[in-house]
C-alpha cells in the first residue's frame, strides 16, 4: 500500500509565519514494495480544509521530486492560511490516496504590512544600562474572534505576554542578526489567549546581543548595534464575521522598569523580585511609575519574518553531585556541559539573595574554576520578594556550564531545588550512532552536545567565555558534521543571510558573523576590519555548498551564489598571480600543537593553507555554478581551479615530489583537496605517515588539519591508522578528553594536561566543536552512511569500513526521503550487514569485495574473510 507521510512546508509541520510567499513542500513515501520510486506527483492547495473552495491543482507532474517541491506559478501574500495535500504515482504502477491535509500560513511578507512602530523606554543616556523594561497596553475586542496573530520583535531580546500569560516559548527572541539591516520578527498564534471584552498585551525587553557587552581584542565594547532597547508588535485579529482589526505598538503604550535590573548575554542576570508588579500584564492594572513610551522613527526597513529556527528550552538536568570544594565553594555538578540556565526554588525573606556563578570545570585541586571565562561573569543574582516559595530562571541570558557555585542562598541548600535547562536552536535530530565501544559512544554524545551548545541561534565558537561569536572558520569546519547530526538547513540559511550583509564591498568576509569585531577610533574613523582570512572567510562558499549537498536546498545556493562568487573573486584579486593566496591576516592552522610555545598559530605556512582553501572554494563555486546552470561561470572557475592546483604544485612541492612544508596539516590539506601533483601524492601520504610515527602516531594538527586527518588516512589506504588515531586515549587524542571527564569537545588538545594543569586561562574553552568535526568521517566511514554527491541522500552510498576494536555499529539517518539504516557486525573475519533504504532513493552498497546498486527495501548480507576492510 502506497502512502504519504511527514508532510512539511519549509521544513516544518503546519507552520504559521513562514517567511516566503513561495513555499516549498516535502513529503515522504511509505510502501510495502521494494524498489519504489516516485514517478509523478499531484499537489493541491486550497483555501479551505475540505478542498471545496478555491483550489489550485498542479496536475500530475512527472517528477521524482518529493523534497522542497515548488508549486510553480503560485505566490502567496501576507497572513494567508492555505491547506495542501499531495498524491503520487510510483514506478510499480501504484497511485497513492491523497495524503492527510496539511496547512501553512504566511507571515507579514511586505514591510508595508507594518503599521506598528518601535517603542522604547530608554533614551541615549541609557547606553550603559542593561536593565529590562516592561510595556503594556489594554484594548477591547467586541466581536467573536476567528484567529489572532501577534507579529513581534525587539531591538534587544524580548518576551511577549497576553492577559497574564506568556506568548510562545521562544528564548532570546528575536535572535542574533546584523540588526542594522536585518531584525527578525516572530509570528505567534494568540487566538486562545484573547477573549471578547478587555484584553492586554505586554512586553519585557532587555539588552541581549543588541546593546550589551561584546569582546573587542581582549577588552569589552558595548552598544555595537544601538543604545536603546525597543519592542515592536502588531496584533492582527480576524473576526468570525469576516472583518479584521489591528492593534499596534505606538504612542498609546506605557512602560516601566522591569524586575530584571541587569541582564546580558556574557554576564548573566540580576533579578529583584521585590520590583515585580503583580498583574502588570493583566487587565485592570494601574501601576504608579508607568510612563508613555518613546516612539522611534518609523523606519522598519530592517524587519523580516523569522526564517531560522527558534531557540527553545530542551533537556533538563538534575544535580548529579552536590559538594563543598577545598576552597569552600558549595558546588552542584549537573553532569553535562550545556548552554542554558539554572532554574531554582527558594523560600526566604524579602531582600535575601541567591547568587550563583557558572563554570565548565573544576581545577586540578577540585576547586570551582572560572578563569577561562575571561571577562564573562556568568553570574545570576536573585533578590527574594519573600513569603511563598519563589521559582526563578533567567529571562534574557544563557551560560555555558556544567557546574554552579552557590555563593549565596537563604537557609540550607537542597540540591533537589535546582535544575539545569539546556537551551539551543530547535533543530530536528536526524541521526543516531551506536557502537560496541563505550568511549566512541561517549565521543559521539560529546560532539552532539558541543553542537547543541554552540547552536544558540547562530553557529558560535564557544558558549561560555566573552566570545560566543559566529566565527566563520569554526562554522565551516563543522558544517558537514552538523548536517549529519541535525536538520540544519534553516539554521544556516538564516546565518548566511547575515554573512552576505557582513561581507565587505570588496568581497572579503569578516572573521565573525554577525560582525561585531568592528570599532571606530576616538576620531570616529573605522578601525581596520577583521576579515579575509582563508578557511574563515571560505565559510561563504563551503557552508551553502554543504547545506545544498545534505539537504538539497537549492534556494540557499541560489541566494548565496553572489556572495560565494564575491569571496572567490576577492581572493583572485589579491592572490599572487591570481593563484597563490599569500596576503592579508591569516589565522591558519589555529591552536595546532606544532605552534611555537605560547602561540595559537600552528606551524603550517599560511600561504599553503590559504591557497589550499582557495582551491577548494573555487572548485565548490564551479560546481555550484554547474548546479545553477551558470555555464560560463562554471567553465571559468574550473579553469581557475586548474590554475590554482598547478601553481600550488609548483609552489609547495619540489620537482621530486617532496612537500615543502613538513607538517601533518600541510600533508592532510594537500591530499584532502586533491592538490598534490601526481608524482607527489604517494610521497605526501608517506610523509604524513612518517610525521605521525615521529609523534608516536599522535596528531599535532589544529583547526584546519584535524577534521580531515582520519578521512585522508582512510582514503589513502591507511584505514588502520585512522582507527588507531580515533581510538587513542593518551594525550593528545579525541578520547583523552573523555578519560578526563569531558562531556563536550575541547578547544585544545591540551585544554587540561595529563598532570591536571590547564593549558592557559586565556583561550581555553571546554566546549568548541571544531575538533569534533572528525564526526563526519566516523558517521560516513565507520557508520557507513553517506550521500552520493550533492543529492541529499536521493542517491546513497552505504560503505561501512569496519576496523579498530569495534565489533558492531548501528547507525541511522533520517534523510529527506526517510530513514536510512545500517548495522554491521563483525565476528572474526565474518561481516554481517543489515540495511534499510527508504523509498524514492537508490543506494550503492559497497562491501569488501562486492558492490551493487539497490532500490528501497530491507536487506541483509554476509561477507566472510574480511580483514582491515578488505577480503
Q: Are 463 and 349 in contact (CB under 8 A)?
A: no
Collect all residues with Cβ–Cβ distance below 8 Å to 348 and sequence separation of at least 6: 384, 386, 410, 411
Q: Residue 537 to residues 9, 218, 399, 543: CA-CA distances in angstroms? A: 32, 22, 28, 10
Beta pairing class for 850-854 and 857-863: unpaired
Least distance in angstroms from the C-beta of 474 to ligand BGC:
5
CB closer to ligand BGC, 113 vs 461: 461
Least distance in angstroms from the C-beta of 666 to ligand BGC:
19
Q: Are 226 and 207 in contact (CB under 8 A)?
A: no
CB closer to ligand BGC, 332 vs 704: 704
Least distance in angstroms from the C-beta of 762 to ligand BGC:
9
* Coil vs helix vs strand at 486: strand
Distance CA 502, CA 188 (A): 29
Cell readout for 157 is: 531580546
Least distance in angstroms from the C-beta of 546 to ligand BGC:
18
CB closer to ligand BGC, 473 vs 532: 473
Cell readout for 336 is: 553535562
Q: Which bin fits 559, alpha (ψ -120 to 50), beta or left (φ > 0)?
A: alpha
Please state whether the peptide bond connecting residue 174 to the residue before it is cis, i.e. omega within 30 degrees of 0: yes
Backbone angles phi, psi at 773, to 5 degrees: -75, 0
Least distance in angstroms from the C-beta of 768 to ligand BGC:
6
CB closer to ligand BGC, 277 vs 467: 467
CB closer to ligand BGC, 206 vs 587: 587
Sites for ligand BGC among residues 757-786 (CB under 6 A):
768
CB closer to ligand BGC, 461 vs 619: 461
Distance CA 74, CA 45 (A): 10
Distance CA 163, CA 93 (A): 56
Number of residues engaging ligand BGC in binding (CB under 6 A): 9
Least distance in angstroms from the C-beta of 697 to ligand BGC:
26
Cell readout for 465 is: 567565555
Least distance in angstroms from the C-beta of 576 to ligand BGC:
24
Give me the DSSP letters along 840-859.
Answer: T-EEEEEETTEEEEE-SEEE
CB closer to ligand BGC, 464 vs 856: 464
For ligand BGC, what does the binding mask look like between residues 437 and 476, x meaning CB under 6 A?
------------------------xx----x---x-xx--
Backbone angles phi, psi at 256, to 5 degrees: -155, 180
Q: Are 616 and 542 in contact (CB under 8 A)?
A: yes
Catalytic residues: 467, 747
Beta pairing class for 795-798 and 842-847: parallel
Is residue 587 part of the contact set for ligand BGC (CB under 6 A)? yes
CB closer to ligand BGC, 450 vs 780: 450
Distance CA 601, CA 590 (A): 5
Helix axes 606-627, 631-652, angle to 10 degrees: 160
Sites for ligand BGC among residues 472-531 (CB under 6 A):
473-474
Radius of gyration of the chain (CA): 28
CB closer to ligand BGC, 23 vs 705: 705
Least distance in angstroms from the C-beta of 700 to ligand BGC:
18
Q: Among residues 683, 659, 673, 742, which one has the least CA distance to residue 712? A: 673
Distance CA 442, CA 727 (A): 12
Least distance in angstroms from the C-beta of 245 to ligand BGC:
49
CB closer to ligand BGC, 282 vs 467: 467
Cell readout for 530 is: 577583521
Question: Which residue's C-alpha cell is 571560505?
Answer: 538
The residue whose Cβ lies closest to ligand BGC is: 461
Is residue 749 part of the contact set for ligand BGC (CB under 6 A)? no
Collect all residues with Cβ–Cβ distance below 8 Å to 414 and sequence separation of at least 6: none
* Coil vs helix vs strand at 490: helix
For ligand BGC, what does the binding mask look like between residues 195 and 214, x meaning CB under 6 A?
--------------------
Least distance in angstroms from the C-beta of 746 to ligand BGC:
12
The contact set with ligand BGC (CB under 6 A) reads 461-462, 467, 471, 473-474, 587, 590, 768
Amino acid at each position: 500500500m502506497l502512502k504519504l507521510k511527514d508532510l512539511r512546508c519549509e521544513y516544518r509541520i503546519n507552520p504559521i509565519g513562514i517567511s516566503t510567499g513561495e513555499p516549498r513542500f516535502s513529503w515522504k513515501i511509505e510502501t510495502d514494495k521494494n524498489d519504489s520510486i516516485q514517478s509523478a506527483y499531484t499537489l493541491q492547495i486550497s483555501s479551505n480544509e475540505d478542498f471545496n473552495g478555491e483550489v489550485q491543482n498542479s496536475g500530475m507532474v512527472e517528477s521524482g521530486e518529493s523534497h522542497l517541491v515548488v508549486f510553480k506559478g503560485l505566490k502567496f501574500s501576507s497572513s494567508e492560511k492555505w491547506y495542501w495535500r499531495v498524491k503520487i504515482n510510483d514506478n510499480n504502477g501504484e497511485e497513492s490516496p491523497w495524503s492527510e491535509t496539511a496547512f501553512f500560513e504566511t507571515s507579514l511578507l511586505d514591510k508595508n504590512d507594518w503599521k506598528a512602530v518601535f517603542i522604547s523606554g530608554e533614551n541615549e543616556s541609557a547606553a550603559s544600562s542593561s536593565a529590562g523594561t516592561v510595556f503594556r497596553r489594554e484594548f477591547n475586542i467586541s466581536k467573536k474572534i476567528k484567529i489572532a496573530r501577534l507579529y513581534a520583535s525587539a531591538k534587544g531580546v524580548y518576551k511577549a505576554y497576553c492577559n497574564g500569560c506568556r506568548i510562545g516559548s521562544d528564548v532570546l527572541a528575536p535572535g542574533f542578526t546584523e540588526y542594522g539591516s536585518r531584525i527578525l520578527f516572530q509570528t505567534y498564534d494568540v487566538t486562545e489567549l484573547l477573549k471578547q471584552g478587555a484584553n492586554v498585551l505586554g512586553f519585557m525587553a532587555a539588552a541581549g546581543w543588541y546593546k550589551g557587552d561584546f569582546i573587542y581584542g581582549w577588552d569589552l565594547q558595548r552598544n555595537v548595534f544601538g543604545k536603546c532597547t525597543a519592542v515592536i508588535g502588531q496584533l492582527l485579529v480576524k473576526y468570525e464575521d469576516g472583518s479584521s482589526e489591528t492593534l499596534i505598538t505606538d504612542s498609546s503604550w506605557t512602560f516601566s522598569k522591569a524586575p530584571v535590573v541587569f541582564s546580558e548575554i556574557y554576564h548573566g542576570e540580576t533579578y529583584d523580585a521585590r520590583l515585580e508588579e503583580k498583574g502588570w500584564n493583566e487587565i485592570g492594572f494601574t501601576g504608579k511609575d508607568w510612563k508613555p513610551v518613546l516612539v522611534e522613527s518609523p523606519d522598519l526597513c530592517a524587519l523580516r519574518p523569522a526564517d531560522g529556527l527558534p531557540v527553545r528550552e530542551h533537556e533538563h538536568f538534575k544535580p548529579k553531585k552536590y559538594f563543598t570544594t577545598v576552597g569552600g565553594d558549595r558546588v552542584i555538578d549537573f553532569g553535562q556541559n550545556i548552554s542554558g540556565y539554572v532554574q531554582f526554588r527558594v523560600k526566604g525573606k524579602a531582600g535575601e539573595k541567591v547568587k550563583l556563578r557558572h563554570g565548565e570545570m573544576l581545577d586540578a585541586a577540585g576547586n570551582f574554576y572560572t578563569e577561562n571565562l575571561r571577562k564573562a561573569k556568568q553570574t545570576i543574582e536573585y533578590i527574594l520578594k519573600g513569603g511563598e516559595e519563589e521559582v526563578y530562571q533567567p529571562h534574557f541570558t544563557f551560560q555555558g556550564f556544567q557546574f554552579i557555585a552557590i555563593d549565596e542562598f537563604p537557609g540550607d541548600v537542597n540540591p533537589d531545588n535546582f535544575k539545569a535547562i539546556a537551551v539551543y536552536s530547535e533543530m530536528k535530530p536526524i541521526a543516531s550512532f551506536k557502537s560496541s565501544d563505550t568511549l566512541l559512544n561517549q565521543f559521539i554524545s560529546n560532539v552532539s552536545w558541543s553542537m547543541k551548545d554552540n547552536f544558540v541561534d547562530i553557529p558560535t565558537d564557544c558558549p561560555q567565555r566573552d566570545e560566543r561569536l559566529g566565527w566563520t572558520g569554526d562554522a565551516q569546519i563543522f558544517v558537514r558534521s552538523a548536517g549529519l547530526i541535525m536538520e540544519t538547513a534553516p539554521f544556516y540559511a538564516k546565518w548566511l543571510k547575515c554573512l552576505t550583509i557582513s561581507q565587505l564591498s570588496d568581497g572579503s568576509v569578516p572573521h565573525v558573523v554577525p560582525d561585531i569585531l568592528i570599532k571606530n577610533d576616538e576620531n570616529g574613523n573605522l578601525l581596520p576590519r577583521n576579515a579575509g582570512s582563508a578557511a574563515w572567510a571560505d565559510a561563504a562558499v563551503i557552508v551553502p555548498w554543504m547545506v545544498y549537498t545534505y539537504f538539497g536546498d537549492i534556494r540557499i545556493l541560489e541566494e548565496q551564489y553572489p556572495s560565494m562568487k564575491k569571496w572567490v573573486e576577492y581572493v583572485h584579486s589579491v592572490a599572487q598571480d591570481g593563484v597563490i593566496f599569500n596576503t592579508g591576516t591569516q589565522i591558519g592552522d589555529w591552536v595546532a600543537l606544532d605552534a611555537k610555545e605560547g602561540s595559537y598559530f600552528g606551524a603550517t605556512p599560511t600561504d599553503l593553507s590559504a591557497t589550499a582553501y582557495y582551491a577548494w572554494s573555487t572548485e565548490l563555486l564551479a560546481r555550484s555554478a554547474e548546479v545553477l546552470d551558470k555555464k560560463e561561470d562554471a567553465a571559468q572557475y574550473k579553469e581557475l581551479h586548474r590554475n590554482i592546483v598547478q601553481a600550488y604544485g609548483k609552489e609547495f612541492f619540489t620537482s621530486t615530489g617532496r612537500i615543502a612544508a613538513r607538517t601533518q596539516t600541510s600533508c592532510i590539506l594537500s591530499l584532502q583537496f586533491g592538490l598534490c601533483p601526481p608524482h607527489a601524492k604517494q610521497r605526501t601520504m608517506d610523509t604524513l605517515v612518517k610525521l605521525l610515527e615521529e609523534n608516536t602516531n599522535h596528531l599535532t594538527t589544529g583547526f584546519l588539519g584535524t577534521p580531515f586527518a582520519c578521512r585522508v588516512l582512510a582514503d589513502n589506504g591507511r584505514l588502520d591508522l585512522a582507527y588507531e588515531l580515533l581510538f587513542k586515549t593518551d594525550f593528545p587524542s579525541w578520547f583523552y578528553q573523555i578519560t578526563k571527564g569531558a562531556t563536550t569537545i575541547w578547544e585544545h588538545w591540551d585544554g587540561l594536561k595529563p598532570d591536571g594543569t590547564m593549558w592557559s586561562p586565556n583561550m581555553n574553552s571546554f566546549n568548541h566543536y571544531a575538533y569534533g568535526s572528525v564526526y563526519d568521517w566516523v558517521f560516513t566511514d565507520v557508520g557507513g552512511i553517506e550521500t552520493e554527491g550533492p543529492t541529499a541522500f536521493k542517491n546513497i552510498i552505504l560503505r561501512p569500513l569496519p576496523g579498530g576494536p569495534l565489533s558492531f555499529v548501528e547507525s541511522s539517518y533520517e534523510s529527506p526521503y526517510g530513514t536510512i539504516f545500517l548495522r554491521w557486525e563483525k565476528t572474526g573475519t565474518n561481516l554481517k550487514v543489515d540495511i534499510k533504504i527508504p523509498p524514492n532513493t537508490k543506494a550503492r552498497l559497497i562491501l569488501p569485495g562486492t558492490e551493487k546498486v539497490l532500490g528501497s527495501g530491507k536487506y541483509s548480507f554476509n561477507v566472510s574473510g574480511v580483514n582491515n576492510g578488505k577480503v
